[in-house]
Structure 1
């Protein structure tokens, strides 16, 4: 683990054309603001509403803390070597209030320690789910003790979503952002 390495592949799935994006995303489509991940989603046709729905649910849930969500995202990006996700969410994590030290710890080889008790726990849960496809009893119990049952379910879905998204981003080779489209965002849909 560590910060993800750039893509080394030579074959990529192309982003849809601006005409295709306008047709999929509607009149509100703005090529200067739309992130490449949203553009690639738009090229999935009938899958687009479900994908956007998941993004809205995860980034809009009242009981999902933005810093906790960014912890999961960056840990997944580090663990699964997802350069696009790291690039976009390193800035979003700062915008959500994670410190440079916490962000650096999330790229650690081995267990995350010292980022804060809840951050370390969420990083451990992400590590377990993405490397063994489940949680140990101890980690699951700690999640429920700290966050309650419903929010634990939501964090498990969040980790699962970023596993799926990481695979999608890497397999399609979504291009890194070439301009500062992130700005002060804490969500790809802002």
Structure 2
């Protein structure tokens, strides 16, 4: 899997106007710092609160290592060929503490190897859940339960499922890529 760099499409859903976004997000909306994914979410109007609620839950859940989350996001982006997801989160992964070697490994064409065992396990889970079978093997699930316990296995599975939905949304709408300076030191799309 190559690092997804651009959309292979000529038509995209336009971002909502700043006025449309402000009506949904409120007076705190800052067009210079709000990421394009959040802007596109605002364009869903009454669905926006649910989407942002899920983002807050995924990026704010207790006990989840930010590096684990970023491994899931980057593997999802690589498997689902999601340019926005890769581009924005490659920087967020660095900000969360992933090394260049770990980021490169997550983009592997085959099974991920050569990095922390927990990272490899999470990449395996992404690969399996995004496969045609759309589930985990008993071996992977048993290893997740042994490694993370039942509560965190549930949280990781929900996180993997969320990034599938998000990648599909990003790819179908073709959310414009960000600039690295806009991402800055973030480890979350909400700042």
TM-score using structure 1 length: 0.98
Compute the displacement of 1:180 (Å).
1.7
Deviations 1:53-100 (A, max 9, x none): 000000001121100000000000000000000000000000000000
TM-score, structure 2 normalization: 0.98
Q: Report what 1:165 is aligned to.
A: 166
Return 5+ residue gaps in structure 2 as ranges: none
**Counterpart-to-counterpart distance in 1, 2:2 and 2:139:** 25
The residue correspondences of 1:14-33 to structure 2 (distance < 5 A) are 14-33=14-33
SS in structure 2 opposite 1:71? helix
SS of match in other structure, 1:181: helix
1:179 offset after TM fit, Å?
A: 5.9
Q: Retained in 1: the 8 A contact 2:112–2:120?
A: yes
Aligned residues: 190
Gaps of 5+ in 1: none
User: Residue 105 of structure 1: CA displacement?
Assistant: 0.3
RMSD: 0.8
TM-superposed deviation, 1:5: 3.7
In 1, distance between residues paired with 2:180 and 2:107? 24
Aligned pairs for 1:76-87 (under 5 A) are 76-87=76-87
In structure 2, the CA distance between the partners of 1:42 and 1:167, relative to structure 1 (3 Å rule), is same
Aligned partners of 1:117 and 1:20: how far apart in 2? 45
Counterpart mapping for 1:146-185 below 5 A:
146-178=147-179, 180-185=181-186
Contact 1:2 1:79 in 2 (8 A): no
Aligned to 2:142: 141
User: What is the correspondence of 1:10-159 to structure 2 with a 5 Å cutoff?
Assistant: 10-131=10-131, 132-159=133-160
